Amino acid sequence: MEVKNIMQRHAKWQKIFVGTLATVLILGIGSILVVRKVYHQNLQPASASQHSRIVSVPLGSSPHTIAVLLQQKGIIRSSWAFEWYIRSHEVQDQLKAGSYELRPSQAVADIVNVLTNGKIATNLVTILPAQRIDQIQRSLVNAGFSEADVTAALNPANYPDHPALVDKPAGASLEGYLYPESFQKTAATSPKEIVHKSLDEMQKRLTPDIRNAFTRNGLSVHQGIILASIVEQEVSTTGDRGRVAQVFYSRMRQNMPLQSDVTAFYGAHVNGQPNSTSYDSPYNTYLHPGLPAGPISNVSQSSLQAVAFPAATDFLYFVAGDDGVTHFSHTQAEHEALVKQYCHKLCSGQ
């Protein structure tokens, strides 16, 4: 009798186990089917709108950054579905920087085709983020303007009353003041008009809040732009920029050199030298205390924001790792350990 009861209980638990397993499998398969259905739905056009929108993809943008940008512009339904699509099709390394004319009525597959083939909008002139003024000059020439006209257009004397330049020191170039944006170009457009529009965009970003925040942080507006240009060059993600700005503020308050590679490289470049942290120039923050002599590139809104309102942290060091992550630390020993662990290719200059 006891054996029979044991066998009955065993059979009962076996049925329960089989039933539970079947339920889990059904739910699992169902979930996969639902996810796949949602995924494919999100690959469809965001809307039926045929209205074109200009999307500028900055140089060095990650697939995630591009996906978020497209969703914010209303071009795609879902950033995660876009990322999943490009990774599953192994085209994440083929996405190209530039300004694109895209429509919400395009499916993700069509948008990816445009981005991977670099089918940029030909009636636009684009100033990309983190560009030096010589790179902007080359972009304007490549857009069809003559070198002589571009050189003349980049002379700050042409814009004596522009509000974006009221804090620029006399004799300084437009380095750092040309805001990255895409501008419509017709046969009648001059490079001076493009530069003026870029300065107009810069003035929109130099709001009273930003200007006042620079002052509260002990910087002039020009110094704020200098520091923002360093932050722009050092890191590309918004969250990291606030922490990097804080690192530089902390170092300045403790009379530590900024020790920024990108400032030293800029000083070497403008003097026709190869990138080096040992080349002596007014921009080398390894050799000279405080901020460099001027901005080292243009700046975007997030870098201005980061310098105006830095993160509430107390780091003194950071390193951009080969894994695409910025690693922060408090001491030299911690920093060296992070460099050894995460920065092999980048830190060797390869």
Alpha carbon of 312 to those of 246, 279, 307, 315: distances in Å? 7, 33, 12, 10
Nearest C-alpha neighbor of 299 from the set 200, 208, 230, 211: 230
Instruction: Give the bridge partners for 98, in sequence order.
Output: 57
Beta-carbon neighbour count of residue 186 at 10 Å? 7
Q: pLDDT band for 350, please (50, 70, 90 cuts).
A: very low
For residue 304, the SS3 value is helix
Nearest C-alpha neighbor of 145 from the set 185, 201, 100: 185
DSSP assignment, residue 55?
E
Please report, for the chain, how many H helices and E strands are present, in that order: 13, 6
CATH architecture of 53-116: 2-Layer Sandwich (3.30)
Beta-carbon neighbour count of residue 203 at 10 Å? 16
* pLDDT (average), residues 242-257: 97
pLDDT at 185: 85
Of 87-91, 256-260, 270-274, 318-322, minimum mean pLDDT range: 318-322
Half-sphere exposure of 260 (CA within 13 A, CB side): 31
The domain locations on the chain are 1-42, 53-116, 124-205, 208-315
Q: pLDDT band for 17, please (50, 70, 90 cuts).
A: low
User: What is the DSSP annotation of 116-161?
Assistant: HTT---TTEEE--TT--HHHHHHHHHHTT--HHHHHHHT-GGG-TT
- Give the range with max mean pLDDT: 1-5, 17-21, 108-112: 108-112
